Structure 1
Amino acid sequence: MIRLSIEHLETIRSHAENIYPEECCGIILGYLASEGKTTVEVMPTENAWNTEAGAEFSSERTVESKKRQYAIAPEVMLQAQKQARDRSLNIIGIFHSHPDHPAIPSECDRLYAWQGYSYIIVSVQNGKATQVRSWSLDDTHQFQAEAIENIT
């Protein structure tokens, strides 16, 4: 389970709508506990996907655009990791949007995902954020739905 405030969810939805029709992305900082993850901060980031990034992973993906792919620049992840450590927090997840598609992970999402993180996906239909769902990888590297709980 991942816990987020209404404000955190609104930040994710707003970022997704502002970046539409491209995929948005961002980093989620918080605490890890036996009963789940608790969000402290949502950090919208730039979608750094480009053909060079795509070529690193698969020659088939190079024609994809930011409308169907996202990437967080390594230096941005490193900076977020340092900020989290300085505040005694962890990176607990990543969020991104699916423009005009459901909030269900793609095969590309699965291939690039890391175990231990929550992956929040927001579906943006015609520029309006709709469904928000969270996913995490199981021991066989398959996504499983993860409950989202609101915190105040």
Structure 2
Amino acid sequence: MIRFSQEQLQTIRTHAESTYPDECCGIILGYLANEGKTVIEVMPTENTWNAEAAAEFPGEHTIESKRRQYTIAPQVMLKTQKEARDRSLNIIGIFHSHPDHPAIPSECDRLYAWQGYSYIIVSVQNGKAGKLQSWSLDDTHQFQAEKIENIK
């Protein structure tokens, strides 16, 4: 389970709508506990997918594939990890959008996902954020739905 405030969920939706028709992405900071994850901060980031990023991943990708791919710059991940540690927080997840597609992980999402993280996907249909779902990897590296709980 992962706990978000309504404001945090709205930040994800707003970022997704602002980058449409490209995928948005961002980092989720919070706490890990036995009863689940609690989100403290949602950090929208730039989708830096380009030819160089595509070369790092196998498969057929093009420069224009920001509509179907995302990447967060490694230096942004590293800086965020250090800042989170300084604040006694963890990176507990990543969010991204699926423009004109359901909020269900793609095979590419699964291949490059990290165990222990929550993956929030928001479907954006015709520029309007819709269904938002959380997913996490099981022991066989398959995505399983993860409950989202609202906090005040």
Aligned partner letter, 2:106: S
- Deviations along 1:89-114, one digit per CA (max 9) or x if unpaired, are 00000000000000000000001100
Aligned partner letter, 1:65: S
Partner residue of 1:126? 126
Instruction: Provide structure 2 residue ranges, at least 5 long, that are not aligned to the other structure.
Output: none
- Deviations along 1:35-86, one digit per CA (max 9) or x if unpaired, are 1000000000000111211111114224661000000000000011011001
Matches of 2:115 and 2:59, distance apart in 1: 25
Q: TM-score, normalised by structure 2?
A: 0.98
Matches of 2:59 and 2:141, distance apart in 1: 22
1:69-84, aligned counterparts within 5 Å?
Answer: 69-84=69-84
Runs of 4+ in 1 over 4 A off after TM superposition: none
Q: Does the 8 Å contact 2:49/2:63 carry over to 1?
A: no
Number of aligned pairs?
152
Instruction: Provide structure 1 residue ranges, at least 5 long, that are not aligned to the other structure.
Output: none
Partner residue of 2:31? 31
Matches of 2:23 and 2:36, distance apart in 1: 27
Partner residue of 2:144? 144
Partner residue of 2:86? 86
Identity of aligned residues (%): 80
Aligned partner letter, 1:100: D
Change in 2 beyond 3 A, CA 1:59/1:103: closer
Matches of 1:28 and 1:59, distance apart in 2: 27
Q: Secondary structure at the match of 1:135?
A: strand
Partner residue of 2:10? 10
RMSD: 0.9
Q: TM-score, normalised by structure 1?
A: 0.98
- Deviations along 1:103-152, one digit per CA (max 9) or x if unpaired, are 00000000110000000000000000000000000000000000000001
